[in-house]
A and B are shown apart, each in its own frame.
Chain A
Amino acid sequence: QSALTQPRSVSGSPGQSVTISCTGTRSDVGGYNYVSWYQQHPGKAPKLMIYDVNKRPSGVPDRFSGSKSGNTASLTISGLQAEDESDYYCCSFAGSDTFWVFGGGTNLTVL
């Protein structure tokens, strides 16, 4: 069982927006602004999409955005495109004993 809770699946139509939630505790998501999001296509390595809750690495489209409220972080993808269909994982720092925890992953289907 993963430390952070994500919905198993979400879906949306091309052009729509979807939001993926990532729920933790005040010991991880709620306690630090070190939430990151990763996109993973089948058979491929994860790719960093968001770091420090809401920052985008160079090259990541601005259709991807992140936010946090309390113990829940969210990844929003606007203007859905077919290539966004993938698995998405959240990750959070969880203090100097546990360090880093991941969510169980969410499968995004573009209808």
Chain B
Amino acid sequence: QVQLQESGPGLVKPSQTLSLTCSVSGGSVSSGDYYWSWIRQHPGKGLEWIGYIYSSGSTYYNPSLKSRVSISLDTSKNQFSLEVTSVTAADTAVYYCATKRPNAFDIWGQGTMVTVSS
């Protein structure tokens, strides 16, 4: 069974880049079984799909975030990563990594809180 674990800084300054990593165990990011996804949840709010990457390296992003978001794979470490550039307080959220297979997000990490503040 695939398990996911997010890691990264809990505090990011405004205008800087938010970088998070999701470590995968029990499966390979190189397999074609999943789309490796990022989803966030603003404090006290609903869920927002950020984007995902397939094993081929193809990426798909939420059009509202596309200009600032990048998702990548690191097959040597069996990880995938998220970068969000030019962050503001509106990017403060719990960030989850998840798998999509095939039409729902079936496995989730525990989530990591990221606060954007000076």
Q: Which residues of B contact A36 (CB under 8 A)?
A: 103-105
> Which of the residues B62, B104, B110 comes within 8 Å of A51, measured between beta carbons?
B104
A residues in contact with B49, CB < 8 Å: 91, 99-102
The segment out of A11-19, A23-31, A40-48, A71-79 that lies at the interface is: A40-48
Known: A2-B46, A89-B47, A93-B103. A99 touches B60 (CB 8 A): yes
Q: C-beta contact mask, A45-77 vs B, less than 8 Å → 1, else 0? A: 111100110000100000000000000000000
Interface size of A by CB at 8 A reads 24
Rounded to whole angstroms, the CA-CA distance of A38 and B100 in the bound complex is 13
Partner pick for B46 among A45, A89, A97, A99, CB 8 A cutoff: A89
Partner of A48, one of B60, B62, B63, B104: B104
Q: Which residues of B lie under 8 Å from residue A57 when comparing CB positions?
A: 106
Closest to A93 in B: B103
> Which residues of chain A have C-beta atoms less than 8 A from B60's C-beta?
99
Query: Smallest distance from the beta carbon of B97 to chain A beta carbons, Å?
Result: 10
**B48 at the A interface (CB under 8 A):** yes
**Which A residues have a C-beta under 8 Å from some C-beta of B?**
2, 34, 36, 38, 44-48, 51-52, 57, 89, 91, 93, 97-105
Contact surface of B with A, Cβ cutoff 8 Å: 45-49, 60, 62-63, 96, 103-106, 108-111
Q: A36-B105, A46-B105, A104-B46 are in contact. List 20 more A-B contacts (CB 8 A).
A: A2-B46, A44-B110, A45-B96, A46-B96, A48-B104, A48-B105, A51-B103, A51-B106, A52-B104, A97-B63, A99-B49, A99-B60, A99-B62, A100-B62, A101-B49, A102-B46, A103-B46, A104-B45, A105-B46, A105-B47
